[in-house]
């Protein structure tokens, strides 16, 4: 494999079907053509309504084994926010929507929740949680954010989001501030089509951006883009494709040094408006470091091949890919996945008395 081909592989993270790692995905991981995987509920086994912990840790162990010949660890990621966005159910820590947690107005509790969730995720082999949502829920008609956000005021989102990030990352699980530069004022679900926010730059700077500035200042390891057009910032393209938003603002103005993920390129906001091959190139050129392709394994291959072709034909794009790959590798090495291999100890971590008491306290107080 050429250096450029390896470089482009560090820019792709994908999902798959089934509760075991498909051989085709394992092959791509072994070859360095993927930076890691994202796990969904479809990849998990439940018995009697309870998550089978050994299946989850076994799946993640197979991902680690597939990359054992490589110098760098993989991203093993999951969307575990709390509330309605929780891929891992009981006995993993059950959490209310983040809005309910923030309404308790206890920053120490929010940090403890992040820490306990991170401890459990790490024991199962995850090293990246695509959480927390740092959007400000400013539009009551928003069909996708709502109580996933910590609140309707930037200060509330900033303080509780940073506390959650600090808790998560204190135990070796990378956090992700999403959806940059803010998905809270949309009235269209970007899973279905492309939302547009009409607010001017001053309003966005006052309302949408402060939580992401705070997350960056707190050292959040990753952020995720929003597939949203912000007319006050860049009226021509969604943020995922905007050099101004992803590079000039995020790197130059906010000073973020971590990995910028694209949201899933298979979502309607992107897929309805062009080929995924083109979307991948545009996202990386804009400043995204790692691309999510959450379902279609063949689409992941097309994305990878498109990046390689473009990098081979464009020295400027090749340089951008090398910059992105360096970030991807650096951040993954900050938190290599480390599974608790002993079954009894794993169950003790997931079902510990402090964890159960924390869950009871949080759930009781928000009711």
Does residue 167 belong to any structural domain of this protein? yes
Asked if residue 53 is part of any domain, the answer here is yes
Averaged pLDDT, 221-246: 97
pLDDT band per the 50, 70, 90 thresholds, residue 91: very high
To the nearest whole percent, how much of the chain has pLDDT over 70? 100
pLDDT exceeds 90 at position 142: no
Q: Are 184 and 130 in contact (CB under 8 A)?
A: no
Least confident among 82-86, 240-244, 307-311, 359-363 = 359-363
Q: From the candidates 106, 191, 193, 243, give the one annotated as an active-site residue.
A: 191
Predicted confidence band at 338 (pLDDT cuts at 50, 70, 90)?
Answer: very high
185 among known catalytic residues: no
pLDDT(122) > 90: yes
pLDDT at 190: 82
Number of domains the chain is built from = 1
User: Cis (ω within 30 of 0) for the bond into 179?
Assistant: yes
Question: What's the rounded mean pLDDT across residues 243-251?
Answer: 98
Distance, in Å, from the CA atom of 305 to the CA atom of 310, rounded to the nearest integer, reads 9
Per-residue burial over 265-276, b if 16 or more Cβ lie within 10 Å, else e, is: bbbebbbeeeeb
Mean pLDDT of 242-248: 98
DSSP secondary structure string, 225-257? E---EETTTEEEEEGGG-HIIIIIIIIIII---
At which residue do the structure tokens 């928003």 appear? 142
CB atoms within 10 A of CB 5: 17
- Cβ atoms of residues 129 and 144 within 8 Å: no
Helices of type H across 136-196: 154-170
In a domain, 113, yes or no: yes
- What does the pLDDT read at residue 325? 98
367 is a domain residue:
no
Answer whether residue 134 shows pLDDT above 90. Answer: yes
**pLDDT for 285:** 98
Decide if 9 contacts 33 (C-beta within 8 A): yes
Q: Which pLDDT belongs to residue 191?
A: 87
Note the pLDDT tens digit of each residue in 200-226. Answer: 999 999 999 999 999 999 999 999 999
366 has a pLDDT exceeding 80? no
Query: For residue range 179-198, what is the model confidence (pLDDT) as tens digits?
Result: 999 999 888 788 888 999 99
Q: Average pLDDT of the chain?
A: 96
| Cα 346 to Cα 57: distance, rounded to the nearest angstrom | 9
CATH code of the domain containing 340 = 3.20.20.300
Q: What is the chain's percent helix, strand, coil content, to nearest 5?
A: 50, 15, 40
pLDDT in tens, 252-304: 999 999 999 999 999 998 989 999 999 999 999 999 999 999 999 999 999 99
Give 65's pLDDT tier (boundaries 50, 70, 90).
very high
Count of other CB atoms within 10 angstroms of residue 220: 27
**Is residue 134 assigned to a domain?**
yes
Q: Domain range for residue 15?
A: 3-361
Q: Is 263 a catalytic residue?
A: yes
319 part of a folded domain: yes
In this predicted model, what pLDDT tens digit does every residue of 9-45 receive, in sequence order?
A: 999 999 999 999 999 999 999 999 999 999 999 999 9
Give the alpha-carbon dihedral of 325, 329, 332, 337, to 10 degrees. Answer: 120
343-354: pLDDT as tens digits: 999 999 998 888
> Residue 85's Cα: distance from chain center in Å?
12
Report the share of the chain in percent with pLDDT over 90. 89
**264 by DSSP, 3-state: which?**
coil
Q: Given 129, 263, 289, 296, which residue is catalytic?
A: 263
pTM of the model: 0.97
For residue 84, pLDDT beyond 90: yes
Closest-CA residue to 258 (of 168, 154, 205, 334): 334
Kindly report the CA angle at 246 between 245 and 251, in degrees rounded to 5? 105
With respect to residue 219, please indicate whether it lies within any of the assigned structural domains: yes
| 353 to 29, 96, 359: CA distances (angstroms) | 37, 19, 10
The reply to whether 199 falls in a domain is yes
């Amino acid at each position: 494999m050429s250096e450029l081909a390896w470089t482009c592989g560090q820019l792709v993270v994908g999902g798959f079907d089934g509760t075991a790692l498909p051989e085709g995905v394992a092959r791509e991981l072994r070859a360095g053509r993927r930076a890691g995987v994202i796990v969904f509920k479809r990849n998990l086994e439940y018995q009697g309504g309870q998550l089978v912990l050994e299946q989850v840790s076994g799946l993640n162990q197979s991902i680690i084994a597939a990359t054992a010949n490589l110098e760098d660890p993989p991203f093993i990621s999951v969307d575990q926010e709390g509330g309605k966005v929780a891929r891992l159910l009981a006995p993993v820590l059950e959490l209310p929507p983040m809005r309910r947690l923030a309404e308790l107005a206890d920053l120490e509790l929010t940090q403890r929740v992040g820490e306990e969730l991170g401890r459990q995720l790490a024991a199962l082999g995850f090293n990246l949680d695509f959480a927390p949502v740092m959007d400000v829920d400013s539009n009551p008609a928003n069909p996708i954010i709502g109580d996933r956000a910590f609140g309707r005021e930037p200060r509330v989102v900033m303080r509780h989001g940073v506390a959650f990030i600090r808790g998560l990352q204190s135990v070796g699980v990378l956090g992700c501030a999403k959806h940059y530069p803010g998905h809270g004022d949309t009235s269209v679900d970007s899973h279905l089509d492309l939302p547009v926010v009409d607010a001017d730059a001053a309003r966005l700077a006052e309302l949408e951006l402060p939580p992401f500035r705070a997350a960056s200042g707190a050292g959040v390891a990753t952020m995720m883009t929003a597939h949203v057009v912000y007319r006050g910032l860049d009226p021509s393209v969604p943020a995922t494709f905007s050099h101004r938003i992803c590079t000039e603002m995020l790197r130059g103005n906010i000073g973020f040094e971590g990995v910028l993920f694209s949201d899933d390129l298979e979502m309607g906001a992107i897929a309805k408006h062009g080929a995924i091959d083109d979307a991948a190139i545009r996202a990386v050129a804009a400043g995204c470091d790692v691309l999510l392709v959450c379902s279609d394994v063949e689409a992941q291959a097309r994305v990878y091949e498109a990046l390689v072709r473009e990098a081979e034909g464009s020295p400027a794009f090749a340089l951008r890919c090398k910059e992105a790959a360096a970030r991807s590798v650096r951040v993954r090495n900050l938190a290599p996945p480390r599974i608790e291999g002993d079954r009894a100890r794993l169950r003790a971590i997931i079902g510990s008395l402090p964890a159960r008491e924390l869950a009871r306290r949080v759930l009781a107080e928000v009711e």
